[in-house]
Amino acid sequence: MKQVIHRKLGNNFLRLSLIFLLTFSTSLFAQSGDPVAGKSLFNANCAACHKLDKKMTGPALRNVEERLAESEGLDREWLYAWIKNSPALIKSGDAYANKIYNEYGGAAMTPFPQLSNADIDNILAYTATEATPPPPPVPGTEGQAGQTSGSGISNEIILGALGLLFALLAIALFLVNQTLRRFAEAKGVDLEKTKRTPIWKAFVQNQFLVLVSVIILLLASAYFVYGFLMQVGVNQGYEPVQPIHYSHRIHAGENGIDCKYCHSSARVSKHSGIPSLNVCMNCHKSIYEVAPETQQEGLAEYGVDYNAEIKKLYAAVGWDDAEQKYTGETSPVKWIRIHNLPDFAYFNHSQHVTVAGVECQTCHGPVEEMEIMYQHAPLTMGWCINCHRETNVKVKDNGYYTKIHEQLAKKYGVENLTAAQMGGLECGKCHY
């Protein structure tokens, strides 16, 4: 009887041990690495082609070691060999290495021989971490994407309060008038009612006032007509809503992308050009969503869903994010032009950007701070002329200007020359 009891206890113990091992098998893979260090290594070496929970250039890597062990029977030694030199493993005829190689169109993974086994252990520990849930929405922003937060009193309340104040004041004046009249009647004061000349008749009969009023009216009319005509064709502050929202604040500001990376033709051409959507896809093939904090900021402060705007980009270029390939079905983006000079005015971006070294912000303003791009400067003739009069030409290490600088510096008796002194005010420079 005792032997039977011991045998049952032994069987139960084995069953419990097996259940324990199966329950914690997922965590055993990650016990030999540091997930914090692994995250840094992953971002530096793997993030360009892989995400933890989404297929990109390569497969998703969440719990990759566990999945390979269960489905393919591959251990960590295989992962060491694959990560350090995948082409060699493919060439050796390894079945799974060739399977994954063919599945992704014959694109071999970049070898990382510089990574030690300990580094790979850390990366695998990071891939074995549980997915973190997205942060909760900012209170008060649900259903209010188009509204900006703020606790100030609305203009309607202020105007209503002012209207009520003026109404009370008018009632008070009426009551005071009535009280004074009753007081006068009680004292026997006779309020004489004299017939007064209407004010408009008195004004018409006074020729001096009529003359002065006409002169003032003509001067004021001329001033406003001149101001109106001077604003014809001037679009300073123009801020259209584009078909795909593009935040210069994030791209040029927070991410520090050079303006000329997207507007590359500004260096060599008259026009800065509209960037091809393929330039966008250089990054957004991999960046399919923004950070959760950035997404919440966009919804709360600007009323913009950045991830939805990335989806618009994918639809325009015909990119299937799930399959990570182009479908061939594209649609043009109808961008709205912001800066537009008259046809009779000539402006060459390369002359200013490459030769003169003028920063983009000189004309376009603090682009790196703009959530929505707008026209910062008036771009009028007077504005351009003032810039030519005040801006010194960069002649240092610029052989193009060496000879003419020596001649004009001697002529004007100055060391630094402005664009105006080098012919920047000649009509033919801008009008031809």
Output the tens digit of pLDDT for each of the chain's 432 residues: 444 444 444 555 445 454 444 444 444 444 578 999 999 999 999 988 888 888 888 888 999 999 999 998 999 999 999 999 999 989 999 999 898 888 888 877 889 999 999 999 999 999 999 887 766 655 554 444 444 444 456 788 888 899 999 999 999 999 998 888 888 888 777 766 656 778 888 888 889 989 999 999 999 999 999 989 988 889 999 999 999 999 999 999 999 999 999 999 999 999 998 999 999 999 998 899 999 999 999 999 999 999 999 999 999 999 999 888 899 999 999 999 999 999 999 999 999 998 888 999 999 999 999 999 999 999 999 999 999 999 988 777 777 777 777 888 788 787 788 888 888 899 998 997
Three-class secondary structure of residue 376 per DSSP: coil
pLDDT attached to residue 182: 85
Closest CA to 421 of 387, 397, 388: 388
SS3 325: strand
Q: Residue 135: its pLDDT value, please?
A: 60
Query: Within its chain, how far is the Cα of 31 from the centroid?
Result: 40
Structure confidence at residue 368 (pLDDT): 96
Q: How far apart are the first and last CA of the chain?
A: 113
Q: What is the structure's pLDDT at 191?
A: 67
Two structure tokens written together for 242: 């584009």
pLDDT of amino acid 190: 72
Q: Which residue has the tokens 């009069």?
A: 389
Q: At what angle do helices 277-284 and 306-317 cross, to 10 degrees?
A: 120
Reference 182, options 196, 193, 174; nearest CA is 174
Class of residue 14 by CB neighbours under 10 A (exposed 0-12, middle 13-18, buried 19+):
exposed
Q: How far apart are CA 317 and CA 330, in angstroms?
A: 5
**Contacts for 315-318 with beta carbons within 8 Å, 24 or more apart?**
316/244, 316/277, 317/277, 317/278, 317/280, 317/281
Residue 303 vs residues 147, 152, 291, 294, 312: alpha-carbon distances, Å: 7, 19, 16, 12, 16
